[in-house]
Chains A and B, each alone.
Chain A
Amino acid sequence: MPQPPLRHPGNHNNAMKTLIAIKEQHQSWVRDAFPNMHPLLLPLCNKPFIEYLIDFAILAGSREIRLLSDGSLMEIEEICQTGSRWGVELTYANIRPEDGERELLHKNRKFCNGSRTMILNGYTFIDYDKRLDYRVLANHSATGPIASCSTGSIAFAGSPEPAADDNPLPALRITPLDSLRSCYHIAMQILETGAERYVLPGYGSEPGCAIGRNVAIAKTAEIRKPVSIGNNVQLLPGTIIGPMAVIGSNVIIDKGSSISGSIIFDNTYIGEQLEIEGRIASGNTLIDPESGASVAMEDPHLLTGIHSATNSATLLRKTIHALAAAILILLQAIPVIILYPLLRLQGKWKNGPITQQAGLAETLAARLSLDRFPLLPKVLLGQLAIIGSAPRSNSPGCRPAVFSYAEAEDWPVTGSDAAIVERYHAVHSTPFNDIGMTIKALINRPHKRNAGAAA
């Protein structure tokens, strides 16, 4: 979580400024490995890369930070906004790929305003320790670079304050972030040196064990420190997490699997009885950080281990689902007969979810999930399940249904989160469980008024 800003003594206008400059050429490997992720948001031990830079700038006494790139910053702007979360002023500007430090300073002259300026240049990891005071370093270092590596440097511009005493300036090491291998090693290093050094998210107050919100850990699951676990994570019975495991958000680790020395990125489902050691897993891709070799798991069955799922339950499931649908049709028939003509005439019930809930009739219709009524006969015919994936999804491994497991779980719905819950239940839920889940869906659904159920 962001920490409160450190107040810099003296005049605000003369406080140190920080320019963070990151160029596309250094980030291209991230774009190749994770096409849907902005490189500045690459999680290192569950904390986005850019936050390490912002934290360091704050530790060095900056209250005004400008982010420079020769690529798009829009996504970052939407997330970091004005920086008020960190108690700093964050602005954004563009540079050209060939610009050097001199150009950066010149193009942002108004921002720097003659103050001392720190330039964090390149896609590198700064090995800082939040317990140390970097303001001394920032105030007294000579102009020019104080640390550099193959993909960037830290440099100062503007005249330093004369050193008050003979205390040696703290040394600073920076590491290139130039490959999956370095990303893996840096995350492991952060995990090993612990949360005291870096400001890390998580409610776990135990050292070496950061655990996010809404994490369900089965009684028989075992956690071996150090670990870092994100939000909305399910650890099923018999799982062994750690030592040295970074689990992102929206992750399910299924029964009996073990994760050690590995990073599991957000939105990943790890099947039953698997062993992940020294690897990076992201979605359906497993990567060896040392060799860079990666395997995309084309079939969802592999993720559930070598025991393939049995299909013997299909007939039973279809029968039970049809029965449930029949009961629902009977229950909903009368409200539908009364409310449908009424709402149809008012134009409030078209072919889709009921979105307006101002009147009593609409509220009632939405509460009773009457909008799904037309789909129910399809369950009787065996064309749809009563509960499964969202009605319109038709991707392999999905079971199209009237209600979705994601609705039942009231899972924070974004596309990929919901898909992962649905996939998990599609494999694990028994026909009898399904009835319980259907009831849960009926109860939970109507609360999501603005969730855009049509999507």
Chain B
Amino acid sequence: MAFRLETQNGITIGIAELDERLDAENSKALQKACGDWQQQTPFLVFDCTKLDFIDSSGLGAIVSCLRRSLEKNGDLKLAGLNAKVSMVFELTKAKKLFSIFSNASDAAASFAASRQP
């Protein structure tokens, strides 16, 4: 899970690159790491380009990350979902909760754009 911070239009955006699998084994670790990231900024992008498999615990972890970002008046956006992962989000209606972008830079740019006067 690589994490970097970018600043655009005065907003600090955290971009996390998720690993290949997100399941019961590593979902707790994601939640914990996400807690640290949210100390730095509530504006997060999960880059899912590498993510190939997600199960319910992984999905649960991402949803709880989203909830915490929303509580801090931020957002969690997703980028680069492949067809398989996308289907899981759709199936569970979780897709409706997220703004989804084709790549991480578009997702980051959308945070900046929403701040435009």
Q: B2 in the interface, Cβ–Cβ < 8 Å? A: no
Q: A295 in the interface, Cβ–Cβ < 8 Å? A: yes
Contact of A288 among B23, B60, B87, B92 (CB under 8 A): B87
Of A298-306, A333-341, A412-420, the one contacting chain B is A298-306
Number of A-B contacts (CB under 8 A): 57
| Size of the chain A interface, CB-CB below 8 angstroms | 21
> Can you name the residue of chain B whose Cβ is closest to the Cβ of A302?
B56
**B55: which A residues are within 8 A, CB to CB?**
297-299, 301-302
Binding site for A on B (CB under 8 A): 23-24, 53, 55-57, 59-60, 63, 82-85, 87-88, 90-94
Instruction: Report whether over half of chain B's contact residues are helix, strand or loop; otherwise say mixed.
Output: helix
A309 to B57, CA, bound (A): 11
> Can you name the residue of chain B whose Cβ is closest to the Cβ of A304?
B56
Given contacts A293-B84, A298-B55, A299-B56, contact A306 B90 (CB under 8 A): no
Q: With both chains docked as a complex, state the minimum distance between the C-beta of A404 and any C-beta of chain B, in angstroms.
A: 26
Q: A154 in the interface, Cβ–Cβ < 8 Å? A: no
Contact of A308 among B56, B83, B90, B94 (CB under 8 A): B56
Instruction: Report whether over half of chain A's contact residues are helix, strand or loop; otherwise say mixed.
Output: loop
Binding site for B on A (CB under 8 A): 273-277, 279, 286, 288, 291, 293-295, 297-299, 301-302, 304-306, 308
Contact of A294 among B23, B57, B84, B91 (CB under 8 A): B84
Q: With both chains docked as a complex, state the minimum distance between the C-beta of A182 and any C-beta of chain B, in angstroms.
A: 19
Given contacts A291-B83, A302-B56, A306-B60, contact A277 B88 (CB under 8 A): no
Complex contact A275–B83 (CB within 8 A): no
> Can you name the residue of chain A whose Cβ is closest to the Cβ of B63?
A306
Sample of 18 A–B contacts (CB below 8 Å): A273-B92, A274-B93, A275-B93, A288-B83, A293-B87, A294-B84, A295-B85, A295-B88, A299-B23, A299-B55, A299-B56, A301-B55, A301-B56, A302-B55, A302-B59, A305-B92, A306-B56, A306-B63
